[in-house]
């Protein structure tokens, strides 16, 4: 698995500073945050060559970018930039509302449209089942993949969201199988719907999830894609505090992967 770090944790600093701290924390892979108003390290219209140079300067490989938007034109721009930089996967949520059939149908149709856009751009769209949205658990994730036939779509496996949707992530992994094309990875303090906790509570190994068991399940299906730590809520942190979260998380997850041989 390609252990990496989502730059959203360093949302208070620029791209170069974020990449420097990702590298200092020991990561070789990175997910670039393109979330407007939260952590916009890259955005539509940016110079792709400069982004590639910044990655190369810190010996980092970008395995994904997180757009977190359902705005068509912004997403089209993120797809184009990702293709230019060589980033293979763009992550979003489905939008819509949990338990509302009309909303779910509309979200699936929108994801079909976005998957076509991604394919046209030469990248893949990864949809994360997300607490509170139309696509939010194992069944709705499978429904999305069964109803959208475009090749450029897959699922983002996030155990913290699945657990808060009353799922066992270790059982979801074999159900989704090769539909998983990327993973946001973190812990969470409880298994009930709601926020994922403070950044410290999201550090792998500090929360309620059996992350070694979940990693074993991913290894069992032959998953070898991105495993990007996504810690949210640290925008107000001093860079040294965010760095501590990033480094502790990397140490724990790297040890788990070593023990698994994954």
- State the fold for domain 2-260: TIM Barrel (3.20.20)
At 33-56, the pLDDT tens digits run 999 999 999 999 999 999 999 999
Question: pLDDT digits over 94-129, tens only?
Answer: 999 999 999 999 999 999 999 999 999 999 999 999
Residue 195: pLDDT band with limits 50, 70, 90: confident
- The mean pLDDT value of the chain amounts to 97
For residue 66, the cross-strand partners are 33, 91
Q: What percent of the chain has pLDDT over 90?
A: 96
**Does the pTM of the predicted model rise above 0.85?**
yes
Which pair of tokens denotes residue 214? 């979940």
Domain map of the chain by residue range? Answer: 2-260
- Give the pLDDT confidence score for residue 220 in this predicted structure: 98
pLDDT at 191 over 90: no
Condensed to tens digits (0 to 9), the pLDDT of residues 141-181 reads 999 999 999 999 999 999 999 999 999 999 999 999 999 99
At residue 190 the predicted structure's pLDDT band, cuts being 50, 70 and 90, is confident
pLDDT at 226 > cutoff 90: yes
């Amino acid at each position: 698995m390609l252990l990496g770090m989502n730059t959203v944790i360093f949302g208070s600093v620029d791209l170069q500073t974020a990449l420097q701290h990702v590298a200092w924390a020991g990561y070789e892979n990175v997910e670039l945050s393109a979330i407007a108003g939260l952590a916009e390290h890259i955005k539509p219209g940016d110079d792709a060559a400069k982004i590639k140079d910044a990655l190369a300067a810190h010996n980092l490989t970008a395995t994904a970018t997180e757009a977190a938007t359902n705005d068509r034109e912004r997403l089209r721009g993120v797809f184009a930039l990702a293709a230019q930089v060589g980033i293979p996967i763009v992550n979003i949520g489905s939008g819509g509302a949990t338990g509302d059939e009309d909303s779910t149908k509309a979200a699936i149709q929108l994801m079909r449209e976005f998957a076509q856009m991604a394919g046209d751009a030469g990248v893949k769209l990864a949809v994360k089942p997300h607490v509170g949205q139309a696509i939010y658990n194992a069944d709705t994730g499978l429904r999305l993949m069964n109803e959208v036939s475009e090749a450029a779509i897959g699922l983002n496996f996030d155990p913290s969201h699945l657990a808060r949707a009353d799922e066992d992530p270790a059982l979801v992994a074999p159900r989704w199988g090769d539909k998983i094309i990327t993973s946001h990875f973190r812990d969470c303090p409880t298994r009930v719907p709601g926020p994922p906790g403070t950044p410290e509570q999201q550090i792998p190994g500090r929360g309620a999830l059996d992350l070694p068991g979940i990693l074993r399940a991913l290894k069992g299906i032959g998953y070898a894609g991105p495993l990007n730590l996504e810690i949210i809520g640290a925008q107000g942190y001093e860079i040294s505090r965010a760095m501590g979260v990033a480094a502790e998380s990397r140490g724990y997850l790297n040890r788990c992967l070593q023990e698994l041989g994954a």
